[in-house]
Amino acid sequence: MIRALTNARIFDGFTWHDNSALLIDGGKVADILAMSELSPGTEQINTDGAIIVPGFIDLQVNGGGGVMLNDDQSVEGIRQICAAHAKFGTTSLLPTLITDTREITAAAIKAGLDAKVAGVPGFLGLHLEGPHLSVARKGTHHPALIRPMDDADLQSLLTIGNSFDALMITVAPENTTKEQVRALADSGFIVSLGHTNASYETAKAYAEAGARAVTHLFNAMSPLENRTPGLVGAALNTGSLFAGIIADGFHVHPASMGAALRAKRGPGKIFLVTDAMSTIGTDLTGLTLNGRQIYRKDGRLTLSDGTLAGADIDMLSSVLFAHQILGLDFEEAVRMATLYPAEAAGVEHYKGQLKAGHDADFVILNDHYSVKGTWINGKPIFTT
């Protein structure tokens, strides 16, 4: 049965539709119509003049709701992470495993496969951030767990390449070969370069081998300098590369974010990621990762030495940062959390916009941009 969310201002990802209705048929978008065009017999849900935008897509989520994937590799753990972020408008996410042991990695993959079978709302796939990174750019990753990718690692990964709607892996050229990257990309992985001191030339070569993205632009990577553009320069100057960025005001200065957005060569875009930890949706004062204490204070998460350890921000707050602090049009800020990550993940043909035939994933906002409701596959997952 077709249902209509009525009396709304709807942004479909490209265009605003005023005083309109969003039609849902099962779990899909059927149409967007002016109120005057609505059939009299259609079941209606009055939104009282709310704003409706496509659901947010987050390709880097370490945890939420008190759960870290590194600590809880279970369907219920993934369900709790997804539910915590749904309260802030995220309708699709990649639970992200920070560098860990072979056993924890295998358990996380199994949990992801089980979560897909269980149809956990909001679960899109997995992001394996490590362990094949550079110790020199380790960030919060435990150096004792970082290692080169060997043949056994590669073969294990190749068996799951097409098992999820989206599957991302962050690697450093220091601990992977171009041949391994090519094999992973060919098997369905979104290969992202990160936590690396790779040169501009090396990063370009890995992009040519199949790397598609860059993990948390500016952070834990070789910087853009006058004679050595580094991975930052490669990300901005290579059209095929997408790049995630953390918009919390701590990981990247707003001026640097603005410069990057103006400089980015397409078709690859810069998209928002939260890099969120278990603190999202809770009043936790900290957490542990690989046996180390992480402290939460004033919107920051840090190790005892001050190293940033993930982020304490949700996707709606990231969108509003891009709009209100960076000065982007609201529509473009929304696209950075919807269409662009959908394109980076290769799911733009059914997610990231409110178009007939696309998944009915959307966020209902009030005039102050607070979440009134989050719908996934045509069902209300969270309402206030």
Residues of each annotated binding site for substrate: 140, 219-220, 227, 251, 308-310
Angle (CA) 241 247 253, round 5°: 95
Q: Which residues are annotated as a binding site for Zn(2+)?
A: 129, 195, 216
DSSP-derived letter for residue 23 is: E
Interstrand relation of 362-365 and 371-376 (parallel, antiparallel or unpaired): antiparallel
The single residue of 58, 72, 275, 312 carrying the catalytic annotation is 275
Closest CA to 290 of 129, 116, 114, 134: 129
Distance CA 28, CA 22 (A): 11
Q: What is the DSSP secondary-structure string of 254-304?
A: HHHHHHHHHH--SSS-EEEE--B-TTTTS--SEEEETTEEEEEETTEEE-T
Backbone angles phi, psi at 265, to 5 degrees: -85, 135
Q: Is 114 designated active site?
A: no
The alpha carbon of residue 166 and the mean position of all alpha carbons in its chain are separated, in whole angstroms, by 11
Q: Which residues are annotated as a binding site?
A: 129, 140, 195, 216, 219-220, 227, 251, 308-310
Place of tokens 């992985």: 189
Residues ≥6 apart with Cβ < 8 Å to 363:
52, 53, 54, 55, 56, 89, 91, 316, 371, 373, 374, 375
Distance CA 199, CA 231 (A): 6
Convert 121-159 into a string of H (helix), E (strand) and C (coil): CCECEEEEECCCCCHHHCCCCCHHHCCCCCHHHHHHHHC
Instruction: Indicate which residues carry an active-site annotation.
Output: 275
